[in-house]
Each structure stands twice: as C-alpha cells, then as structure tokens.
Structure 1
Amino acid sequence: VADPSVKGMWCVPQYSNPTGEIYSDEAVRRLGAMRSGASDFRLFWDNAYAVHHLSDESHKVANIFDACATGGYPDRPFVFASTSKVTFGGAGLGFFASSPANMRWFVARMSRRTIGPDKLNQLRHVRFLRDSGGVRKLMDQHRALLLPKFDAVARALAARLDGTGAARWTHPEGGYFITLDMMLGSARRVVELAKEIGLALTPAGATHPLGQDPDDRTLRIAPTNPPLTEVRLAAQAIALCVLLAATEALLANRKMTDAPHSQVPAGRRMKATA
C-alpha cells in the first residue's frame, strides 16, 4: 500500500462477514510483511468468529502477531474479539490485544474514559464458561442449533435454483451468514417481493460500504434467529422471489432487445447476467 493516506485495513480473518472466507497462512504472512506508505499503518484484526464453527473442522487462522513480528512490523496488529455472539449479543466481554507499545498507548487513553470494565459481567462469564473447554462445549451447542438452519437454506436454494443461472450462494463452514448473489439489478426487487409476502430480509446493499451495492445483486441471509420450521419456509420463499425477479429481468431485457433500435433509449438498455 504505497499511498501514505491509507492508515489501516479492517480484517475479519475467519468466516468473514458476509462471504465466509478464511484467511490462508500465506495471506496472513503477506499482510504481516506488507510494505506501506504510512509508517503507522495498522491491521484491525476483528476475530469476531474465532470459535463459530459449522463444520467438523475447527479452522484456525495463523497468528497475526507472529506474522507481523517476522515481517518487521510488531506494532501493526490491533486484535479484537468478544463473546457478543457466544453469550450475550452486544453485552458480552470484549477483548483487545496488541504489542506492548500499543497497549501502553491504549491503556493511557482508555483510563481517561472509564475507571474499569464491568467486573460483575466478567465474573458471570468466568463462572459460566470456566475455561476453553467450556467455550468449546457451548459453541458445540450453538452449532447443533444453527447447522440444521444453514442446511435448510442450502437445500431450498439448491432445489429451486440449481441449474437456472439465476443465483449462486456460499456454503460457509462457520460464522452467521450465507451470501446470495443474483442477476444484476435484482437484489432490491427480491427484497420487495419478499416484503409483499410478509418476509423481512436484510436490506439490499447491507453487504457493501455505505449500503451501496453498485450491481444491486447481493443479499446476506442470516438464518440463525427464527425457528427451524420458519427458516425452511422462508428459504423456499427467498428462492421463489429470486426466480420471479430473474424472470422479470429476463423478460424486460428481451422486450428491450426486441424493440426497434430507434425506440430504445441508450440509457434504458438492460443487461441481465447470472
């Protein structure tokens, strides 16, 4: 990163929201050794899904502290995590780790904002989770609840959409989300169609900066909260809405293509691709 105005990069290294990527060891090594125009360039390492496995394999990302130290940038990583998606959403324990120099900088400033953390909440978590084995046991219980919901969505999408060219979707091995990519210009229409039948979806564009998806094609599906029976029904509804939106787009495209060229304003010509 040669531009000195670029001061950092936000990373979700495992089961990245919303597409579920897992950083390879090589990617971690390269980020740790990457040259930058800014001497104070930082990696904001948001390990939000460190223990949120959905498969039999418990993935583990390479140690970013080791990678940065080896690369000559020991002060580069700011590492975050929390129990927000383990115990209480927005009310769990937060974690921060960095180099000794960065920790001195952080503590000096944090001490001006608070006299200390919520010690009662810390005690509650220690008594409930106890140790790393307790965390793994709890997350196995989460997985038992969540995996059938993810499988239900995958089966419904495959049954309705496989071979149609109308959409593609991810099969995450962890985290909380499935990413659904549709025909260009279809995402907002799918959300509208779903709303008409009483199904609330995450707004189109939520996967992109400032909520602006330039292709209007991506939706983030979070099947974690509703009961399994509702997830099954909702997944079927989503697939049908995708098919209907794709059909509308293709018919509109055909109508525009079949019209005499002189009657089709240049700015109105459409392109529908899967």
Structure 2
Amino acid sequence: MTTELSPDALSGLLDRARRDYQDLAGLGLSLDLTRGKPAPEQLDLSEDLLSLPGGRHTSADGTDVRNYGGLQGLPELREIFAGVLQVPAGQLIAAGNSSLELMHDCLVHALLSVVPGAESRWVDQERIAFLCPVPGYDRHFALCERFGIDMIPVPMTADGPDMEAVERLVAEDPTVKGIWCVPKYSNPDGACYSDATVARLASMSTAAPDFRIFWDNAYAAHHLTDDPVEIADLLAACAGAGNPDRAFVFGSTSKITAAGAGVAFFGSSPANLQWLLGNNAKRSIGPDKVNQLRHVLFLRDADGVRGHMERQRALLQPKFEAVARILDAELGSTGLAAWTSPKGGYFVTLEVPDGCAKEVVRRAAEAGIVLTPAGATHPYGEDPRDAVIRIAPSYPGLAELEQAIAGLAVCVRLVGYEQRAR
C-alpha cells in the first residue's frame, strides 16, 4: 500500500489532512456504521408479513400452528430453504428467530452431551479449541470466549481459510474440535469458499473424531451482482468423503425478511439432527410455527425468495457502489488503504497501514462517525497488525453513508500521513 513521498510532499499532504479533519469535526456528525443491520427500507419490503397468516392456522400437513409440537419446524418452510442452504428438507430444522442462538445451543449441547462420534463430553476434556479464520465474525469469537474455548487464528484467502494451516492443525491436535466458517460473501471480507476448499474441509484427516465445521451460511441468498456466486455443497461433500457428521449448517431469514422476527435453520446428518432435536426437546416444546407459516405464505417458494432478494439488492447495491466510489476517489492514489469489493453479503473490509486501525476508528468517533471497534474481526478483539476495519454500509441512508465514508477517508489520510511523518 505504500507510496514513496518526498519530505515536502508529505508535509503538504499532512497539512491538508489536518485541515480536512478540522472541517469534518466541525460538522457535528452523528453517524453509525457499527453493525450490519438492514435499513428501515429493507424491512419495509416485508411489511405484508405482519398481516399474515390472515386467519389461517393450519400448515400443509394439517398441523395447527397455534399449538405445541413440531420441533423440526414446518415441512413447507424447510422445503423452501432446502435449496438455498444446500440441505435436504428432511435434514433441516426450522427453529426460532436467531441462527446465533442455534450456534450457541450446539456449543452448549456439545459441552454437556456427547456429540455423535465423540468419546466424551467436551466439558470433560482438558482443553477445547476452535480454528478461527481471520478476519472473521466477532460474535463467533464471543461464543468461544463465553465458554472458555481457545481460539486459534488462521488466515483467510480469497478462496476461504488457508487450508494448509487448517489441515496441519486439525491433523496434529485432538483438542481442535471445530472451525468457524462463513462460506459465502464472508463476514467481513466477502470471500467465497472455492470448490477445492470445500472438498478439503470435507475430506481432511482430523485428530478429533468429533470435529465439527460450524458452517454459518448467513448470506446464502444475499447477492449484489448479476453473477451470483454458488458454492459447493458441504453436507454432500462430507457424506461423500465418509465424514457425514462433520458439518453443522446454519442459516436464517434475519437479513431476508424481518431481522428481529425471522426464522433460523440448522442442517446436518441424520445422526446430528436427532442429537440436536433430542437435546432441544428438553428446552422447548416447539418453535413459533405461526411465524413460520407467515414466512411460507409471504415467500411462497424458492422463486419467491429470489425475487424478494432482488428487491433487497436494489436497495443495497447503490450503497456498496458508493463505498467503492468514494474510497477510490479519496484514497485510491494515496497508498494508504486497500479494500474489498464483495459480490454479496453485508460488509466491506478496509485495510489501513499496520498500527493505524485503532487510531483511525478513534479519530472517526471523535468526528461523530462510529465504526465497529478495530480488532473486532479477530479473536479476543486483538488484530496483531492493527490494520483491519469493518465497514457496514447497509443501515444508513445513502446520503449519510456517503458522508460517513468520505469522513472515514479523511481519518485514514490523517492517521496514515501522521505515521509516515514520524
């Protein structure tokens, strides 16, 4: 990212950056780019969901959705999302509103009960560790911290995690029980796992017989271009490699319909499905099937999901294009930054010079632009390079977003040139 500058040129650029920052601070901004929340306009696309099911209270198989039961969720909703999540409907659970809750529960159940293929409960073992591709999703890391699971960072590449590192770690260490994966339009860098990466994950030798891939396919339908990315079917690949129980697949409608009132999904092998359903039966008498029926009536089928996501894309794509346009105009020739151009998902990753991310985020906050804390993309909140900043363009209006990204660019120039001048 570096560009050679003479002392006089650097002094001039730094003076200008300081003036621009003073102007920015004087605007009295209050802008928030911290989380990848859907904008109100995106939520409005699902407004009709609130008026459903319109007096109807039976599912396709005659189940009264107002009553207890149906722990696996409505069959017709599972049919709609089976293709989206690459899980046969019979091996899919439709649950409550949060896939994060399902990930939490899978960890708890693995700690307190024996997963298929395990010799003992995880809690009875001296050490449990997970591989964490970085940059990655802070809530995955928070779950590991919550339960005392050690985190081992592995670098991300354009094709997914560095598989040489992954294969070496899982082969030599039986305490490595899992890996976090956001395989499509990954959070936060937008990377998509290649077919070769999926095949290697499915077939690699693991020292732990109960190793699990936590496959958080959160952005399975969240395309931003006319060329949607398709990834290989992990569940089928695991079965074909003789490791049918290896994959836990998660997804939800949280960024498809109503973020706070969606439906979450879990998919896996028949053995894993029975393991989770058996454990869940002790904590629930069934999910919110009324809400599941709402989603069936609103989305109708897989084509309905695709059409709905095209309307989502129409609102999101201009925001991602604005981020790329402004960063290129303000930082493209400076040598101070690099950023991703994702084909889908909810985030852009901005890389600044090593040692600068925390200071950029601090300066931006002082100017009224709040960003996700630097380091959140890494385990324990510590980015060893202090270089990665996650941008969440979805929630602000377009004009506010443009103002925020332009202001962020000012902060990058200020901090970057200050570092060079030392």
- The one-letter code matched in structure 2 to 1:196 is E
Q: Which moved further from structure 2: 144-153 or 210-219?
A: 210-219
Counterpart Cα distance in 1 of 2:200 and 2:250? 20
After superposition, give the CA deviation of every residue in 1:150-174 in whole Å (9 maximum; x if it has no partner).
Answer: 1111011100111211010000000
Counterpart Cα distance in 1 of 2:178 and 2:363? 39
After superposition, give the CA deviation of every residue in 1:166-192 in whole Å (9 maximum; x if it has no partner).
Answer: 010000000000000001111111112
Matches within 5 A, 1:80-159: 80-159=250-329
- The one-letter code matched in structure 2 to 1:95 is F
Match of 1:57 among 190, 215, 227: 227
- The one-letter code matched in structure 2 to 1:178 is V
Displacement of 1:246 after TM fit? 0.2
- Name the SS of the counterpart of 1:174 in structure 2: coil
| Structure 1 unaligned spans of 5+ | 253-274
TM-score (norm 1): 0.90
Counterpart Cα distance in 2 of 1:87 and 1:206? 26
Displacement of 1:90 after TM fit? 3.8
Matches within 5 A, 1:60-75: 60-75=230-245
Match of 1:225 among 372, 382, 395: 395
Displacement of 1:91 after TM fit? 2.6
- The one-letter code matched in structure 2 to 1:92 is G
Match of 2:373 among 203, 211, 230: 203
Alignment coverage as a number of residue pairs? 252
- Name the SS of the counterpart of 2:215 in structure 1: strand
Relative contact order higher in (CA < 8 Å, ≥ 6 apart)? 2
- Name the SS of the counterpart of 1:50 in structure 2: coil
- Name the SS of the counterpart of 2:176 in structure 1: coil
| Structure 2 unaligned spans of 5+ | 1-169
TM-score (norm 2): 0.59
Report the aligned-residue RMSD. Answer: 0.9
- The one-letter code matched in structure 2 to 1:67 is A
Counterpart check, 1:234 vs 2:404: yes
Counterpart check, 1:16 vs 2:186: yes
- Name the SS of the counterpart of 1:112 in structure 2: coil
Counterpart Cα distance in 2 of 1:139 and 1:211? 32
- Name the SS of the counterpart of 2:210 in structure 1: coil
Counterpart Cα distance in 2 of 1:247 and 1:219? 18
Counterpart check, 1:165 vs 2:368: no
Q: Which moved further from structure 2: 173-182 or 231-240?
A: 231-240
Counterpart check, 1:194 vs 2:340: no
After superposition, give the CA deviation of every residue in 1:113-159 in whole Å (9 maximum; x if it has no partner).
Answer: 10000011101111111111111111111110111011111011100
Counterpart Cα distance in 2 of 1:10 and 1:207? 13
- The one-letter code matched in structure 2 to 1:193 is R
Show the counterpart of 2:50.
Answer: none
